[in-house]
Amino acid sequence: MRLCQILFFCFLSSLCVSQSITGAELLDRAINYHDPNGNWPTFQGDLRVTMNTPGKSDRVTDFNINLPAESFEITSVRDSITIYQMINSEGCQYTLNSETDISDEDKKTHRLNCDRTQMWRDYYTYLYGLPMKLKDPGTIIDPVVSEREFKGKTYKVLKVNYDQAVGVDTWYFYFDPITYKMEVYQFFKVEENNDGEYILLTGEETISGVKMPKTRAWYYNKADKYLGTDVLGL
């Protein structure tokens, strides 16, 4: 009888150990869900995102990410304004309503410059390259994985900081505890102030072998104020 109890205790102990997971292991399992064949490093794909923002007309954005060619192209349309921007290793280009001859005033109004184009490239490749982008240099993965309830569901949560040269925000990534699908992320500039935003991820699109959230709904952390929704669809 005592032997059975010992064996049962050992079984429970091994089960508890197998259920523990480090931050690096959680990230690897999440990447295995979203990019099971390791396609992200050579990703080439066309994406369309429709942004719904309270009090504004929709903005439709088409963009192409070509990581091997270090090339990024984006065309956004809102109301009567169409802006095209491109950046690669040789430089950047942009047009306003298909015109290359753009006044300084219009460049300022629509923020047409290479720095802005680079910002859009970094923004879209980061958000749609998650969680794979958390392998990038300068990313600091907390080794301790926490369990946290958010909107009625318990998640495995990965805390991420960055080297100062990369970023200063603190991020939390919420993964389904069974599938390791990424379902929420959240960032703070000063966590004690509860500033920053959280983003709810629903649905899924597979593009060039990578599973990406179809819908991202943005909210301020304070008061759960709704900011807008991005919908991915080709």
- State pLDDT tens for residues 174-226: 999 999 999 999 999 988 888 999 999 999 999 999 999 999 999 999 999 99
Residue spans of the domains in the chain: they are: 22-40+140-234, 44-128
- 81, containing H or E segment: strand 81-88
The more confident residue out of 2 and 67 is 67
Within 8 A by CB and 6+ apart from 46, the residues are: 62, 63, 64, 207, 234
Q: What is the pTM of this model?
A: 0.88
Nearest to 170 by CA among 149, 150, 185: 185
DSSP letter at 141 equals E
* CA quadruple 31, 37, 43, 49: dihedral, nearest 10: -60
Beta strand 215-220 with 170-175 is unpaired
Tell me: the pLDDT tens digits for 63-96?
Answer: 999 999 999 999 999 999 999 999 999 999 999 9
Give 147-150's long-range contacts (Cβ < 8 A, gap of 24+). 147/177, 148/172, 148/174, 150/174, 150/184
Place of tokens 């102990």: 13
The alpha carbon of 147 is separated from its chain's Cα centroid by a whole number of angstroms, namely 20
Residue appearing with tokens 């290479």: 114
